[in-house]
């Protein structure tokens, strides 16, 4: 099982709405994440907009690719795109670059 951590930047003026949207993640989106190998998926948001994501998955690239092929993910990404800082205009799921793991307490 891979443990993946990544960082994204949420626009400061969208923080409250971003949090509200995540209180109501669509059931079909939750199912799609589970079905494509996303386990213990968690998001943490700092008041300056730094978003830290954590997920456990057998294969992160396969999990990303699995979601990329789903209509529900395309809809979700379209709705969430404007919440994120990204000079290249990419969807959040295309910005997820895993951080290097350096320590795990087993």
Domain extents in the chain: 2-94
CATH number for the region 2-94 comes to: 3.30.70.100
Q: Is 39 a catalytic residue?
A: no
Considering the candidates 12, 19, 22, 75, report the single residue annotated as catalytic.
22
Q: What is the DSSP string of the chain?
A: -EEEEEEEEB-GGGHHHHHHHHTT--HHHHHHHHHTT-EEEEEEE-TTSEEEEEEEES-HHHHHHHHHT-HHHHHHHHHHGGGB--TT---GGGT--PPPP-----
Render pLDDT for 40-96 as a digit per residue (tens, 0 to 9).
Answer: 999 999 999 999 999 999 999 999 999 999 999 999 999 999 999 987 888 888 889
Q: What is the rounded average pLDDT of the residues 21-30?
A: 96
């Amino acid at each position: 099982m891979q443990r993946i951590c990544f960082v994204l930047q949420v626009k400061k003026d969208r923080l409250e709405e971003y949090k509200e949207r995540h209180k109501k993640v669509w059931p079909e989106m939750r199912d799609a994440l589970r079905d494509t190998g996303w386990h213990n998926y968690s998001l943490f948001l700092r008041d300056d907009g730094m978003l830290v994501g954590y997920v456990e998955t057998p294969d992160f690239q396969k999990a990303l690719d699995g979601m990329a092929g789903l209509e529900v993910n395309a809809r979700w990404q379209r709705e969430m795109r404007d919440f994120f800082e990204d000079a290249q205009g990419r969807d959040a799921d295309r910005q997820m670059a895993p951080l290097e793991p350096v320590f795990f307490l087993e």
